[in-house]
Amino acid sequence: MIICICGPTAVGKTKLSIQLAKKYNAIIINADAMQVYKGLDIGTAKITEKEKENVKHFLFDIKSVEENYTVYDYQKDVRNLLDKYRNQNIILVGGTGLYMKSALYDYRFADEKDSQNFSEYSNQELYDMCLKKDKNMNIHINNRKRMIRFLNKKEVSFNKDHLLYDNVYFIGLTTNRELLYQKINKRVDQMFEEGLINEVKRFYDLNIRSKALLTAIGYKELYQYFDKKISLEEAKELIKKKSRNYAKRQYTWFNNQMSVVWFNVDFNDFSNTENEVIAYLEKSNS
């Protein structure tokens, strides 16, 4: 079977994945867009070697932060693993719903070889083509690179209800909003205590301003701090706020896109949550 553990940040997805992997002799595959990058450890709450408890983990730490890794790339990599380990139980864990969707559903990309450089077109012509593609697009006419990227953006299509694999179970972990926000705020404080500033400063000092670093929550805010645009306290509060907002978007996405069975997390005794999930899986597989 394939077990997908999803939900917002800070609810215990990693902890549950390890317990289920040990019970069902499963491998674990990352489904978090930022945990594919080497060195983005503290800020992404990436699992440590000790926490892995000798369970095989895949698609963690596979790319440099200077590389661009897309959903298209992830789909190819994860499906190779799903094929290779098709006779074994598999757990996908992470908060990037689009990664899970692209892996398991009939989610198709246009042929990447169709990209054009549009060198023969003026900015005005590019702008007109962008408007034709999407009348609500808001790219400035002088931002030629962005217009070209927009025109080359790969269209995708999928049948929302068409899973490509059998015995797939979507397990969502949740808790009440107030408690979740407390957990997120506490996690951010803990990240700073564990050395998040130093983790980000290493990349900043190397003058690396890649897409991964300038989009990941926790990294882009500290870059602003290092650039002296905001104070350290402002950066920390911004990280907390954006993490909370991201959690809200995660709930919305998972509820709209996949048939998730939600479990309220018992933070006082996490084994109760584990047993609830196991009981559901056992019943579903009987």
pLDDT tens digits, residue range 117-167? 788 899 999 999 899 888 878 899 999 988 888 888 766 666 657 899 999
User: From residue 71, how far is each of 2, 115, 195, 277 by CA, in Å?
Assistant: 19, 17, 29, 28
Q: What is the mean pLDDT of residues 91-104?
A: 94
Could you tell me if 258 and 139 lie in one domain?
Answer: no
The per-residue pLDDT for range 60-94, each reduced to its tens digit, is 999 999 998 989 899 999 999 999 999 999 999 99
Taking the whole predicted model, whether its pTM rises above 0.85 is answered as: no
- Residue 1's Cα: distance from chain center in Å? 22
Spatial separation of the C-alpha atoms in residues 29 and 22, rounded to whole Å = 14
**186 and 124 co-located in one domain:** no
Co-location of 149 and 131 in the same domain:
yes
Closest C-alpha to 3, from 36, 29, 34: 29
Mean pLDDT of the chain: 92
What distance lies between CA 241 and its chain's CA centroid?
A: 18
- Its domain, for residue 149, covers 111-153
Alpha carbon distance 224, 234 (integer Å): 10
Degrees, nearest 5: CA angle 211-214-217: 120
| End-of-domain residue from the set 95, 121, 153 | 153
Are 181 and 171 part of one and the same domain?
A: yes
Are 130 and 225 within one domain?
Answer: no
C-alpha–C-alpha distance, residues 139 and 91, integer Å = 39
Within this chain, do residues 148 and 166 fall inside the same structural domain, yes or no?
no
Q: Amino acid letter at 14?
A: T
- Here the CATH number for the domain that contains residue 269 is 3.40.50.300
Q: Is residue 124 domain-shared with residue 37, that is, in the same domain?
A: no
